[in-house]
Amino acid sequence: MVISWYGEGSFRFQNGETSLLCDIPLTSSGASIPRGKVNVYLQTITKWDEKGPQITSPLEANTHIYGGGEYDSDGIRIKGFQLENDSEKTVIKTTYQITWDDIIIGLLGHISQPLPPSIQEHMNEVDVLIAPGGGDPFLEQAQTIKLVKQLNPKIYIPSFIPFKGLKRKTADPKDIYTAFDASGDAKDKFTFKKKDLIDIKKTQVVVLSV
């Protein structure tokens, strides 16, 4: 599997010929906008109005997923859990557990409040966890550190961290790197297989670059 980052909360997961993309970043963020075709496009934040969910994407996708529920597409099993306390009347936030080729990924998206125990129990077995690392307006860094240590994934990939061209203020994730003895050195992409994770006992932080 190959994981790439486009900035903010936008990640592409590629496994063979199958790809999943989550959360196309806003053009106003300064991030580059991914285009092309993917098998699955997944949203962790969805705007609603009187007409229902507002879904727009420059991508072609076989399957479009948003909100809570169970989904199965292109060999990928996905469970969505709505963040009730973190959502608003016109904005729904969702976390996901993604099972793909025997790898379990926890995707916490735009979370800004502590993860409810009812959802946390579904994240206890994740191999790879993606959660905000830049603090406000998302989950505070101290809370992120605590949560990652509780869940103890093999790999933690921070989202919403600084990148060149970012147009909003965000905190330096150095405290997170220190907490997990990570260097903070960034990779263009993270390539791995399930067997590469088996012997990892202590969470490793993987930092991606745009």
The domains of the chain are located at 2-208
Dihedral of CA atoms 43, 142, 136, 117 in degrees, nearest 10, equals 40
Which residue, 157, 196, 162, is CA-closest to 1? Answer: 196
Residue 115 per-residue DSSP state: P
CATH 3.30.390.30 corresponds to the domain 2-208? no
The per-residue pLDDT string of the chain (210 residues; one tens digit each, 9 = 90 and over) reads 999 999 999 999 999 999 999 999 888 899 888 888 999 999 999 887 766 666 666 678 889 999 999 999 999 999 999 999 898 878 999 999 999 999 999 999 999 999 999 999 999 999 999 999 999 999 999 999 999 999 999 999 999 999 999 999 999 999 999 999 999 999 999 999 999 999 999 999 999 999
